[in-house]
Structure 1
Amino acid sequence: MTLREALSQIPDPRARNRQYPLWGLLALILVTFLSRVDSLRGVERFARANPHLLPHLGLRKAPGHTAITLLLHRLD
């Protein structure tokens, strides 16, 4: 099982009009924290500084701090 397959199995608590795929946001957070970034603001900065990674995570553009924070608050 790939990381994408595993993360895709997590139920998405957001509304249907979501802009970013759940698995992509979770993978971004994981990659960022593995890169020793230790804050949610740092996740946003990491995504903006590494736009070449975003298509590999199913993301068309870097998510903002609000999108990341709201997602994590809604996950069980």
Structure 2
Amino acid sequence: MGLGAQVLSTKQWMRLHVSYKQHGSGPEFWQAYRDILDTVSQHGDAAAAANELARLAVQFGVTETALFV
């Protein structure tokens, strides 16, 4: 499973993955998602971060489809 084009750090990717494994698509997962998006957006390309997180949400099975920017 790849991490994308260095948009997310390994730590961020693992946080999201663990959150999904523990909470499924519950509020805890979406809070981790938003926290990661906020952090990455402050220090890099917000659109790339949003796209990478959306791709991962589909890959994990949280949602069937995602919108990309």
Please state which band the TM-score falls in when normalised by the shorter chain: 0.3 to 0.5
Specify the structure having the higher radius of gyration (Cα): 1
TM-score (ref. length: structure 2): 0.35
Structure number with higher relative contact order (C-alpha < 8 Å, ≥ 6 residues apart): 1
TM, length-normalised to structure 1: 0.33
